[in-house]
Structure 1
Amino acid sequence: MRNSFLALIAIGILASCNSKPEGYTFNGTISGDIADGTEVYLKKGGENNRLVEVDTTTITNGTFIFTGAKDQPEMHYIFVDKIGGYGAAILENGDIEFSAHKDSLGYSKTIGTPQNDFLLDFQEKSRKVSNQAINIQNDIRKATGARDTVLINSLQEELNELQGEYETFEIDYIKANPKALISALLIDRAINNRTLTTQEIQGLYDGLSPDVKETESAIKVLKSLDALKKREANSKSTNIGSVAPNFSAPSPSGKLLALNDIKGKATLIDFWAAWCRPCRAENPNVVRVYNKYHDKGLSIIGVSLDKTAEAWKKAIEEDKLDWHHVSNVAYFNDAIAKQYNVDAIPATFLLDENGVIVAKNLRGPALEARISELLN
């Protein structure tokens, strides 16, 4: 009986040692002259990278506290009312200690949990490079004031070299720290900055630990990676020399209209929108070219990226665009825009009589010259 009782105690002790925290306690300390009652905001990234407020508390004697629970670690940001800048911390279950001076929230320090230890390690290493860059930029300003072009060029080369070293540093950090959430965040930044190839990004993602891959940050990376692969596949199908992919969408009357239904001896696919000023500015030229070459075989189909059908139809009438039109009224989420890798407008694709793409993004005299070649 005694042995069974001791075994139960041992199991209880072992379980308590191995159990994970069920929630977090986020203790913050901000030094400097800061009034009691000052509000502190806990925020995180939301849709379109906009920050959303998660929690609010107030400062008492330079300290504040947040409590809660997290299923997965996630990057958060700490803002203090009427104080510039913000601090960074990874919210995860456990006891988290945040400290900063009110005049330099960007140099905050967060410790106490594994992911925040990774974050602090990265911050300390990256700040060394950042400080070097700041010093070089200050030297460039001084050299500019002294009109010392030789020194300016030398410092600029040094700054460019340092930038390359920093990009390598981040890649090396990701590879060396597969269990760090910050690694997933760095991959996401590389995707947004377009500094790495799809293959390189895939390799870095594959190297992340299973736990990190379950986080929202890594899931976002995977979605972006899939989108990049689709984009590259679409890019190949819309390169000059490729047959333009067929598409269909509603016309202003609501009837489905397909590219293959309106092809001529020369066909212009024109991505535009009523809200796009450069598009509207180019429309008179396109109208002139269409009126001149339509009887010779020119066909145009406008693909609108408008947000409302009313604005789309009104612009067609105002600009006297007497050709074929389609739109899903879906802005840049339009399926045709994605199919053709269009992320900025105006954008045009000129096709020959076989539907082969022969030119892209021609405007002004260049557009007429190329159409003239095809039809004459």
Structure 2
Amino acid sequence: MKKSLELIFVLFSIIIISCAGKNTETTENNNISPNDLKLVSVLNRQFNAVLSSPEILPPEMSLAEQNSQSSVIKGKIEGKNTRAIYLQEITREKLVFVDSTKVDNDGNFSFNVSKFTTPTICFLTLNSNNPPGIPIVVGAKTKLSLAIKNDGWITYTVKGDKENNLINELYKIYLNHDKNLQDFNREVSKIDPALVTDSLRTVVGDRFKQMQKNRTDDISEFINTKESCLALYFAVTFLFEEPDILLMETAYSKLNKTMPTSKYTKDLKITIDSVSPLEVGGLAPEIELQNFDGKMVKLSSLRGKVVLIDFWASWCGPCRRENPNVVAMYSKFKSKGFEIFGVSLDENSEKWKAAVQNDGLTWIHVSDLKGWQSMAARIYQVSSIPFTVLLDKNGRVIAKGLRGADLEAKLDEILK
């Protein structure tokens, strides 16, 4: 599932160093090249800078502004020349213009807004209606003071309600990560990729992925630990390429308790319900089939374990050739909470049982002996075998079609 407003919140295009190009490393020359030395220097940097907040304070509200029946947004901006501020509502599809105001010679600006009757996620952009900008929440009588610093990266402090304090906290989390990702990419891009060894290219890719993971982990922690607020909706909707369905459900559960009629709560519910059970993050459909002894076994009985659903058959040559790898992985991971749920597309029970015994497949096996007409195969849209579906401990899809080294790497990752 892709986020629908991806480009609006991408502050920079992060392009990792290309793996294409000539490899100058030879078996005769093991000396580190100047380009490799430059890259090693980049890799040794921490890239964990924290952007500084504005030195100025948010302006105070006058008594008239405090008592206004409309929403009042006022602020002061320091840094690069800013002539105008644009207020826009954030929707899944686009930014919707609400109002704009000029910035005076001292950096002051203000809005009086009467459009919103319920808390609404908005975006303030500088000098045009295009990003980058800062997220805020505006309701019926919101009173919000901002101090903004624009030095290429936009930071701000806020004096207002809980909603705006929390969305500001979230903004700082993802902005600092985006800044460090851009700094890393900028340093790497200075080095000619054609003159760097393949091994260092791999290290660069791994480092970049780890930095992305750190960003994801910090945003996920915010979603899991903060109280109900619209920043949760903002995070799961706009800050992930493919958001975890569990995070979406966490956000929905919190919002549904405090603002069940909000359009954001309803939108999350629609999004969650639209996720196919076979998509990554979806809750895997139940399978209940007979084992060798005629006993019905449910897939859901394995909740609490990481489960590999393995569709195969005794007559399938590629399946039989893959079985030694599966046996090795089962031996390696079963003590760590890993189980295999083998679903056979056989029609002959004796051949099925013989293949299990001959190949040493000691995990759970089920079948309805209907071949390609197997109900489980139809539910899981199996069109060729071997075919696997990997589930987390809650029965949600982690990945599909993994085998061999790819499957082992994924199990190493989740069963550390």
TM-score normalised by L of structure 1: 0.49
User: Which has the greater radius of gyration?
Assistant: 1
- Structure number with higher helix proportion: 1
Q: Which has the higher contact order (CA 8 A, sep 6+)?
A: 2
Q: TM-score if structure 2 supplies the norm length?
A: 0.44
